[in-house]
C-alpha cells in the first residue's frame, strides 16, 4: 500500500506496510483525510516529530479488520478517527477529560514499516495512507449519510474549533469574540461561536479572500489584517475589547494582540501552535481585571460524545461541513495540497484516498 512519508528531509508518497491489528486494535481503510496546518508544521520543523513518519491525522474511513477483543466497531462501519487513543481507565479519562490522559499522551506508536524500517504514526493516526491501524477507541462510528470526505474534517479541525468554544471557553449568548486566523481551525471556532449565540463574532485574517468564508460560517464582522491594524480594527467594533479572543495562527505577536484585545474578565484561548520553546509577552497589570489566558488541546474533546454531536448538528443543518472542503486531491498530489495550505488559499484541502 501507499502513504505519505516524511523522512526528516523529503515528503513523498512511498510504498509502506502496516502490521496486523492487535487484540484491541482496528485496521481502517482510509477514504479521505483533511490536510491540517499541523501536518505542514511537522514538515517545516515547527512541530518536532521523530522520523520516518506517515503523516495525516484528520481522517475517516471504513473498518477493514478488528482485533479479537474489539466490540465497539465492526467490519464495514464508517468511522472518524480520533487522535487521542486515551486509556479509558485513568483519573483524567474517568473524569471526562481524555485529552489529559497522561498514560497515553506522547506515546508514539510505530505500526508502519518503510523499506523494512519502523515508521511512526503521526498523532496516532497517519491518515495520508491507504490503510492504518489504530486503537479501537480511536474509531468513532458515524452515520453513513455523512460523506467520508467531509466526515474526515471532524477528526481535527472541526472538533478543535467547535470544542474550543463549547468545551474549553464555554462561550454563551451575546458574548463578544474575535477569531484571529480564518483557516480550518478558525472557521470552526467561528461556527462554534455561532452555535453558542455569541455576538459580535469578529474574524481577522491577512488574506482578504477569507472574508466571504468567514461570513458564511457566522462571522458578523471581518478585519482585513493586510490593510488595517488588527487591534484598531477590532476596537472600532468593540470599543472596550472582547469577552473572548481565539488565536488560530500560532504567532507570538498575534497571541499578544489577542490578549491586549480582552475586555475586563475576558478570556484568550490559544489554539495556534508556534515553534517549540516560543515565548509570548503580555502586560501583567492588565491581567488583574479577572482576565484569563488558556491553552486548548484538541477542543478539550470527548471524541465519542463530541463527534456524534457534530454529526447530529450537521445532519440537522446546523453545522457546516461541506463548505469547509475547498478542494480535493489524490494522494499523489500531496505537494499541491501542501502548497495551497501554505499559501492560505483553502478552507480545507482534502485528500481523497479510496472510494467509500
Ligand atoms: N490546539 C490544537 O489542538 C490544534 C489542533 C489543530 C491545529 N492547531 C494549530 O492551529 C493553527 C491553525 O491551523 P489551520 O489548519 O487552521 O491553519 P491554516 O493554515 O488553515 O490557517 C491559518 C490562517 O491564518 C491566517 N494568517 C496567517 N498569518 C496571519 C496574521 N498575521 N494575521 C491574521 N491571519 C493570519 C492565514 O491567512 C490562514 O487563513 C496551526 O498552528 C495548527 O498547528 C492546533
Ligand atoms: Zn490538526
Ligand atoms: Zn487515561
DSSP for 255-295, please give it. HHHHHHTEEEEEEEEE---PSTT------GGGGGTT-EEEE
249 CA distance to ligand 1 middle (Å):
3
Number of other CB atoms surrounding residue 115 within 10 Å = 12
> What is the distance between the alpha carbons of residues 230 and 247, in angstroms, rounded to a whole number?
12
Q: Specify the pLDDT at position 70.
A: 98
> What's the pTM value of the predicted model, to 2 decimals?
0.97
Question: Does residue 173 have a cis peptide bond before it, meaning omega lies within 30 degrees of 0?
Answer: no
Could you tell me the pLDDT band of residue 25, with boundaries at 50, 70 and 90? very high
- What DSSP designation does 82 have? P
Give one word for 111, left, alpha or beta, with left for phi > 0 and alpha for psi -120 to 50.
Answer: alpha
45 CA distance to ligand 2 middle (Å):
15
Domain end, chosen from 273, 296, 319, is at 296
Q: Within this chain, do residues 269 and 218 fall inside the same structural domain, yes or no?
A: yes
Q: Within this chain, do residues 52 and 143 fall inside the same structural domain, yes or no?
A: yes
* Ligand 1 pocket, CB under 6 A: 36-38, 41, 156, 160, 180-186, 204-207, 210, 225, 248-251, 254, 271-273, 296-298, 341, 344
Q: Within this chain, do residues 133 and 193 fall inside the same structural domain, yes or no?
A: no
> What is the distance between the alpha carbons of residues 36 and 172, in angstroms, rounded to a whole number?
28
Could you tell me the pLDDT band of residue 107, with boundaries at 50, 70 and 90? confident
100 CA distance to ligand 3 middle (Å):
7
Q: Within this chain, do residues 226 and 282 fall inside the same structural domain, yes or no?
A: yes
- Which atom of ligand 1 is closest in space to residue 187's alpha carbon? 16
> Hey, what's the cell of 42?
511537522
Q: Tell me which residue has cell 474489539.
A: 70
Q: Which residue from 202, 171, 151 is spatially nearest to 315, judged by alpha carbons? A: 151
The count of structural domains within the chain is 2
Coil, helix or strand at residue 118: strand
Q: Within this chain, do residues 116 and 261 fall inside the same structural domain, yes or no?
A: no
Question: Does residue 286 have a cis peptide bond before it, meaning omega lies within 30 degrees of 0?
Answer: no
Domain of 220? 161-296
Could you tell me the pLDDT band of residue 345, with boundaries at 50, 70 and 90? confident
Could you tell me the pLDDT band of residue 325, with boundaries at 50, 70 and 90? very high
Sort strands 112-114 and 25-34 into parallel, antiparallel or unpaired: unpaired
Amino acid at each position: 500500500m501507499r502513504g505519505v512519508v516524511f523522512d526528516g528531509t523529503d515528503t513523498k508518497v512511498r510504498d509502506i506496510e502496516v502490521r496486523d491489528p492487535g487484540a484491541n486494535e482496528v485496521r481502517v481503510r482510509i477514504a479521505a483525510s483533511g490536510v491540517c496546518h499541523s501536518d505542514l508544521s511537522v514538515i517545516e520543523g515547527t512541530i518536532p516529530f521523530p522520523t520516518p513518519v506517515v503523516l495525516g491525522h484528520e481522517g475517516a474511513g471504513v473498518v477493514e479488520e478488528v482485533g479479537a477483543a474489539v466490540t465497539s466497531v465492526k467490519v464495514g462501519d464508517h468511522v472518524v478517527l480520533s487522535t487521542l487513543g486515551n486509556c479509558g481507565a485513568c483519573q483524567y479519562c474517568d473524569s471526562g477529560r481524555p485529552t489529559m490522559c497522561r498514560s497515553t499522551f506522547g506515546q508514539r506508536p510505530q505500526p508502519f514499516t518503510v523499506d523494512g524500517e519502523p515508521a511512526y504514526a503521526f498523532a496516532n493516526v497517519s491518515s495520508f495512507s491507504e490503510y492504518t491501524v489504530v486503537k479501537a477507541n480511536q474509531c468513532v462510528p458515524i452515520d453513513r449519510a455523512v460523506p467520508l470526505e467531509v466526515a474526515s474534517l471532524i477528526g481535527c479541525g472541526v472538533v478543535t474549533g467547535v470544542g474550543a468554544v463549547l468545551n474549553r471557553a464555554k462561550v454563551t449568548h451575546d458574548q463578544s469574540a474575535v477569531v484571529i486566523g480564518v483557516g480550518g481551525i478558525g472557521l470552526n471556532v467561528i461556527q462554534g461561536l455561532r452555535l453558542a449565540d455569541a455576538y459580535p463574532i469578529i474574524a481577522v485574517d491577512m488574506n482578504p479572500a477569507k472574508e466571504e468564508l468567514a461570513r458564511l460560517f457566522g462571522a458578523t464582522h471581518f478585519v482585513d489584517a493586510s490593510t488595517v491594524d488588527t487591534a484598531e480594527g477590532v476596537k472600532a467594533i468593540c470599543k472596550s475589547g472582547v469577552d473572548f479572543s481565539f488565536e488560530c495562527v500560532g504567532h507570538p505577536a498575534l497571541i499578544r494582540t489577542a490578549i491586549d484585545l480582552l475586555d475586563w474578565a475576558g478570556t484568550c484561548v490559544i489554539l495556534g501552535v508556534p515553534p517549540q520553546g516560543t515565548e509570548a509577552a503580555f502586560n501583567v497589570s492588565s491581567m488583574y481585571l479577572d482576565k484569563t489566558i488558556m491553552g486548548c488541546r484538541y477542543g478539550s474533546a470527548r471524541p465519542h460524545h463530541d463527534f456524534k454531536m457534530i454529526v447530529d448538528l450537521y445532519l440537522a443543518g446546523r453545522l457546516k461541513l461541506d463548505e469547509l472542503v475547498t478542494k480535493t486531491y489524490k494522494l499523489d498530489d500531496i505537494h499541491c495540497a501542501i502548497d495551497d495550505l501554505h499559501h492560505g488559499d483553502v478552507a480545507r484541502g482534502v485528500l481523497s484516498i479510496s472510494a467509500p
